[in-house]
Structure 1
Amino acid sequence: MALRSMLFVPGDSERKLAKAPSAGADALILDLEDAVDAARLPAARAIVRDYLAARPASGPELWVRINPLDSGLALDDLAAVVRAGPDAILLPKGQGAQGIVTLDHYLTALEAREGLEPGAIGIMPVATETAGAMFNLGGYANCSPRLRGLTWGAEDLAAALGAAGNRREDGEYEFTYELARSLCLLGANAAGVPAIDTIWGNFRDETGLRRDSARARRAGFTGKIAIHPDQVAAINEAFTPDPADIARARRIVQAFEQAPGVGTLQLDGEMLDRPHLKQAMRILASVPAGN
């Protein structure tokens, strides 16, 4: 399933959790980290576990953002929610491939305890939230078959660096955060997994969100994280290929299928080679089911 939009939902808010599926996001991220006060965390774990257990047969994927592996809270988060079978875990403060390997081991043990299919739960790290993590983005390839993608974050990175802000006067990211975005994109492609763009913080600024989403898609990101239900429709639109692009991609794939072993061919007067085929296949992979 193509993940165009992933919506954060506070794990301790039963009201927001109940409303979240109607937003139309491809995945909901049930948050046990930043959105939940430490005093509310035990209650949030129980709420998230019950929400996962009561999921309908159809609907968005259900992910859980746990606390960082070095927080002393992550194992308790996992022990509470794995039994209800989330689709994937969003790992904050990702430090590199070793963290994915460690989380894989935890999930393997908990899946066995709960009688779940081995490897059923995926993992995606927020891979740029600390200075050290920035140097490890090329190392995620082959670290775990659970790896579902890479995403990045600018807010925690700014805090880690002691920066007063992460954007210039014109609203664009400072160089360090543009670098984080680019390295996330490159690291995801090196690992063969989707790159998911970070949040647009001002949920009332739809114009800015649409501009930022279009830019991310042009760069090669396949989806974006939302912090408010009102952002989901614009994100879905930005990351859904238009019908003309879909039709052309299908014709390109069909043309290569009808000419096995050929490296280049002509279509509508244009010479096409393997990179065109690869791009066409990526477009088709991003088409929502039923389109």
Structure 2
Amino acid sequence: MKLRSLLFVPGDSERKFAKARGIGADVLILDLEDAVAPSRKDEARATVATLLDDTAPRDFAFFVRVNPFDTGLTLADMAAVVKPGLDGLLIPKANGAHDIAQIGHYLDALEQKAGMAIGTVRLMVVATETPAAMFALGSYAPVHPRLVGLTWGAEDLAAAIGATGNKGDDGSWTFPYQVARAQCLFAAASAGVAPLDTLYADFRDDAGLERSCRDARRDGFVGRIAIHPDQVATINRCFSPSDAEIAEARLIVDAFAAQPDAGTLGIGGKMYDIPHLKAARRTLATVGE
């Protein structure tokens, strides 16, 4: 499952879904939470359930963001959308792996009822949206068998701790949110799942999005949330290896394969060791090699 670009789509808008499905996002996340007014939750569930019935070929994974546990709506959301065609759920405001275990138990029963193989529906988690969550990031390892990725969020966390803002005058994250971002990255790496960067709010700022994505990939993130279709192409490009990176990775892998007992090799005037080999293999894995 590719997880470079994950585009949010309001769950109550068939029109926006129809547009989004041709954008090129790796994942479409039909949103039942923040993008849907309380008065339209039932309508959104019914709309998403209908969209899941479409058997036309698609080149994206179909996820749904359910409402968090504290709303009392989570189980009703899941009962409406766990059916053939659903690839995964995005769980917001999770307080740790115990929440994911509970979701997993629900899914076992709902998949069986829907005639789906147990384990079909995968999980991604927004892992930093509550103060309690920040102390539970280590709980995702050992990894739950359904978990495929962790992402982080700053807006709900800021509201929860009473912050008046989460960015400095230069637009960079203030320290508490730098901590949340870094801890999410470490937690995902520890669990062996995909670390996914949070949204870039200004969807008209293409240059800023590109800089931010390149910084995120440099740091270890493998993909990013998108809030507007126009962001998808930039995100896909930034989180895909360039031709030069692929060529270098092949060179490194081939050189170590030719000298399997070597721990360090000189290639083209540069020294490479085992961490470089691991990184090269990850690069090639992203293009199916």
Residues 91 and 124, structure 1, Cα contact 8 Å, conserved in 2:
yes
Shift of 1:210: 1.1
CA distance in 1, matches of 2:202, 2:270: 42
Q: Which shows bigger deviation, 5-14 or 264-273?
A: 264-273
| TM-score, normalised via structure 2 length | 0.96
- Please list, as runs of the form range in 1=range in 2, the aligned pairs for 1:86-165 lying within 5 A after superposition: 86-165=86-165
- Determine if contact 2:152/2:180 at 8 Å carries over to the other structure: yes
Cα distance change on mapping 1:255 and 1:202 into 2, 3 Å: same
Partner of 1:223: 223
- Show structure 1 runs of 4+ deviating over 6 A: none
CA deviations over 1:25-84 (Å, ceiling 9, x no partner)? 111000000001111111111111111220422311111100112321010111110113
The residue identity in structure 1 corresponding to 2:165 is G
Q: Mark the runs of 5 or more structure 2 residues left unpaired by the alignment.
A: none
Whole-angstrom CA distance in 1 between matches of 2:257 and 2:74: 47
Deviation string 1:203-225 (CA, Å, 9 cap, x unpaired) is 11112111111111111100010
TM (norm. structure 1) is: 0.95
Find out whether 1:74 has 2:92 as its counterpart.
Answer: no
Q: CA deviation at 1:259?
A: 3.5
1:142 Cα deviation (Å)?
Answer: 1.9
Alignment partner, residue 264 of structure 1 = 264
Q: In the alignment, is residue 251 of structure 1 matched against residue 267 of structure 2?
A: no
Within-5 A mapping of 1:1-291: 1-287=1-287
Deviates more, 1:109-118 or 1:218-227: 109-118
Alpha-carbon contact 1:50-1:84 (below 8 Å) kept: no
* Matched-pair contact (CA < 8 Å) for 2:84–2:116: no
RMSD over aligned Cα, in angstroms?
1.5
Higher mean alpha-carbon deviation, 110-119 vs 266-275, is at 266-275
SS in 2 for 1:139: helix
Letter in 2 for 1:4: R
Are 2:203 and 2:228, in contact at CA under 8 Å, matched by a contact in 1? yes
% of aligned pairs identical?
55
